[in-house]
Amino acid sequence: MKLRNLVLFSTLVLSPALVAQEVTVRIDADFSGGRGTNFLDYWSDATSGSVWITYDTSVTPLLKEGNNFRYEGAIKSMRFELYEFGTGEVMDIGVPTEVVADNSTTGNQFYTYRFIQEFNGQDEEFMNVVSRVLYSSETSVGYMSVIASEYPALDLFPLPLFADYSAFPVWNTYETESNYLNVVIDHNQTFESLSFRIQRISYLAPEIADADGDGVADDVDSCPMSLTDETVSFSGFDSSVTNYVRDNGCTIMDTYAACTANASVEETSSRFGAFQPRLSGPSYCETQVSYQLVDEGIIDYTEARMLRDTLYMSYRSSSR
């Protein structure tokens, strides 16, 4: 079973700020150093880390001037993991590494700040991008900040962090050693600051409720309990045609099953149903399915012929 409309699905994932209220960015990076209260306990075994930041892209910016911006309340959550060399296990750094923003009790900011620094004998402008969540309760107080740096004048950190500033900023996605990343966590005066070289920035596809696992969300799925065999079969006869999922969430086998169900209902509802002869071959509805699938671009002519041949074979070889 495969979702046939894969090109459209990929486009949606690659344009997150345009199609979703919430987007999650993942940053993977190589560990390069740091400092902190517990730093000596884990630094020699650390090799890399990952950060997940979920933004609400519907938030209106407080400041938006070119590629300078400031958002309040745009961060929904942040999570950080540090990995052990050799094993890849998540390491305990002695402070909470996940923050879920509750804007009634916490503050959060997503913003850029720029500074001037001398480079090769002349002043150059550099940019830091900060995602920061503050938290405070009766038992804990602190913050988590993820700071990504863009230094276009330096060969070490040359890549622009964002691809588009026209709406909610869209991160550039890439897989290459590039910009600098700093994760800072302060929890009840236990302070940890870790530095990384960014290896990969990616957007994560949003999780959807999909009870039958066909790749179509339940709220738009016309067949919430799909027949999900890998290939289309009729009464045990395998057509070898992939059981593709249509845009409405129905598989090819669901479509044929609907024909059978409709035929049964029509026969039962007719006052002459008991006296009508039984069909010895496929119904008109069943014979039209393959043509409809070709018209929709789900299958090609060869696959359509394989479906029809197997369908007729199943009727000839069994009492349906």
Instruction: Place 275 in a pLDDT band, splitting at 50, 70 and 90.
Output: very low
**Residue where a domain terminates, one of 179, 204, 229:** 204
Among 36-45, 113-122, 177-186, where is mean pLDDT lowest?
Answer: 113-122
Q: Residue 7 falls within a domain, yes or no?
A: no
pLDDT value at 2 more than 50: yes
Q: Is residue 52 assigned to a domain?
A: yes
Same domain, 79 and 189: yes
Question: 41 and 129 share a domain?
Answer: yes
CA–CA separation, 314 and 306 (whole Å): 12
- Could you tell me where the beta strands, DSSP code E, fall in the chain? 22-36, 46-56, 63-65, 68-72, 75-84, 98-100, 107-119, 122-136, 141-150, 162-164, 170-171, 174-175, 180-187, 190-204, 231-234, 237-242
Q: Let me know whether 239 and 198 are in one domain.
A: no
Ranking 73-77, 279-283, 297-301, 312-316 by mean pLDDT, the lowest is 279-283
pLDDT of residue 260: 83
Q: Are residues 173 and 264 in the same domain?
A: no
**191 and 292 share a domain?**
no
Residues 6+ apart with CB under 8 A from 222: 248, 249, 250
Q: Which long-range contacts (CB under 8 A, 24 or more apart) does 169-177 make?
A: 169/17, 169/67, 169/69, 170/15, 170/16, 170/17, 171/25, 171/201, 171/203, 172/201, 173/14, 173/201, 173/202, 173/203, 174/200, 174/201, 175/199, 175/200, 177/30
Does residue 171 sit within a domain?
yes
Q: How many domains does the chain have?
A: 2
Query: What share of the chain has pLDDT > 70, as a percent?
Result: 82
263 within a domain of the structure (yes/no): yes
pLDDT of residue 281: 84
Q: What percent of the chain has pLDDT over 90?
A: 56
Structural domain harbouring 267: 218-317
Give the end-to-end CA distance of the chain in Å, rounded to a whole number: 25
Instruction: Say whether both 115 and 185 belong to one domain.
Output: yes
pLDDT digits (tens, 9 = 90+) for 170-195: 998 988 777 889 999 999 999 999 99
So what's the pLDDT on residue 84?
Answer: 96
CA-based Rg of the chain, rounded to a whole angstrom?
A: 28
What is the rounded CA–CA span in Å between residue 254 and residue 294?
A: 16
- Is 213 a domain residue? no
The answer to whether position 6 is within a domain reads: no
Q: Which of 158, 177, 204 is the last residue of a domain?
A: 204
Q: Given 180, 204, 228, which residue is the final one in a domain?
A: 204
Report whether pLDDT(144) > 60.
Answer: yes
Domain check: are 138 and 180 in the same one?
yes
pTM of the entire predicted model: 0.61
pLDDT at 263 over 70: no
Q: Are residues 148 and 33 in the same domain?
A: yes
Residues 187 and 66 in one domain: yes
In a domain, residue 189? The reply is yes
Residues 159, 36 share a domain: yes
Q: Are residues 192 and 312 in the same domain?
A: no
User: Does any domain span residue 209?
Assistant: no
CA 169 from chain centre, in angstroms, equals 17
Select from 100, 132, 139, 89 the least CA-distant residue to 113. Answer: 132
Q: With 90 as the cut, is the pLDDT of residue 52 above it?
A: yes
60 and 195 fall within a common domain: yes
Tokens coding 223: 């067949």
